[in-house]
């Protein structure tokens, strides 16, 4: 469970989180009018849902904000999950940590930092947030502090392929920003501990280490907690 205490946050930040929560709920409301949900929307028109394939095909990238996401499935206990990234010029403004080099880094023309994963259930609702090891998303490894700075800039300011999904995922990262920061800052400790316990292993490519941290989430619970914190702010 997350140890985040929303009562310690500034009023202005809580207000931004509450506004983000309203946008998330609005996306759900609009999609529910046609008996749809976030997952159904991101999979729409893409044929049979195949494990590990990216949806939508080719991912979604906002070149103005250097933000990217895709949805796929390969884990038990969920329908699938979103991966979110910052890349391009924004990621290039930060220096990756000292790390091994892999072919997948040379197969693209830019650097990329993974922000957070969002687990979804069969009803198309978010049930968890998680961070991953480098090999899972073929990213470049940045310090937790740098990923937190990248998080501030994530925005999917596009209409295609789904405006509701783009609005939803942008505001999910705002609504749960404190929990995401906690998860991201905790990655470095996990990597350090694993390295100490597995001498000689390349921690970033070790298939025995995939999920670094994970916490359950509830949209309604988060919004209620924000509203309660605002009363005393």
Angle at 207 between CA 105 and CA 147, to 5 degrees: 50
Model confidence over 197-224: pLDDT tens digits?
Answer: 999 899 999 999 999 999 999 999 999 9
Determine contact, residues 57/46, Cβ cutoff 8 Å. yes
Name the residue ranges covered by the structural domains of the chain.
Answer: 8-231
List the beta bridge partners of residue 60.
69
Token representation of residue 218:
């509830």
Q: How many angstroms separate the CA atoms of 180 and 172, rounded? A: 10
pLDDT grade for 1, boundaries at 50, 70 and 90: low
Q: What is the pLDDT of residues 91-138, one digit of tens each?
A: 999 999 999 999 999 999 999 999 999 999 999 999 999 999 999 999
Cα separation, 209 vs 201, whole angstroms: 11
């Amino acid at each position: 469970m997350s140890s985040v205490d929303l009562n310690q946050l500034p009023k202005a930040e809580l207000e931004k989180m509450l506004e983000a929560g309203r946008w998330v709920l609005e996306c759900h409301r609009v999609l529910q009018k046609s008996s749809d949900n976030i997952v159904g929307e991101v999979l729409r028109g893409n044929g049979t849902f195949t494990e590990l394939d990216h949806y939508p095909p080719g991912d979604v990238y906002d070149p103005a904000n250097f933000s990217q996401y895709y949805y796929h499935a390969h884990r038990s206990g969920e329908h699938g999950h979103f991966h979110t990234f910052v890349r391009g010029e924004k990621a290039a403004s930060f220096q990756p940590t000292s790390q091994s080099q892999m072919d997948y880094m040379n197969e693209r023309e830019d650097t990329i930092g993974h922000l957070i994963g969002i687990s979804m259930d069969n009803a198309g609702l978010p049930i968890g947030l998680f961070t991953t090891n480098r090999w899972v998303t073929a990213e470049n490894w940045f310090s937790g502090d740098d990923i937190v700075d990248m998080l501030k800039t994530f925005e999917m300011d596009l209409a295609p392929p789904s405006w509701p999904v783009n609005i939803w995922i942008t505001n999910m990262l705002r609504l749960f920003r404190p929990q995401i920061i906690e998860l991201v800052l905790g990655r470095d400790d996990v990597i350090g501990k694993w390295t100490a316990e597995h001498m000689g292993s390349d921690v970033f490519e070790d298939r025995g280490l995939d999920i670094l941290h994970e916490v359950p989430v509830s949209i309604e619970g988060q919004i209620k907690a924000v509203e309660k914190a605002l009363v005393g702010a």
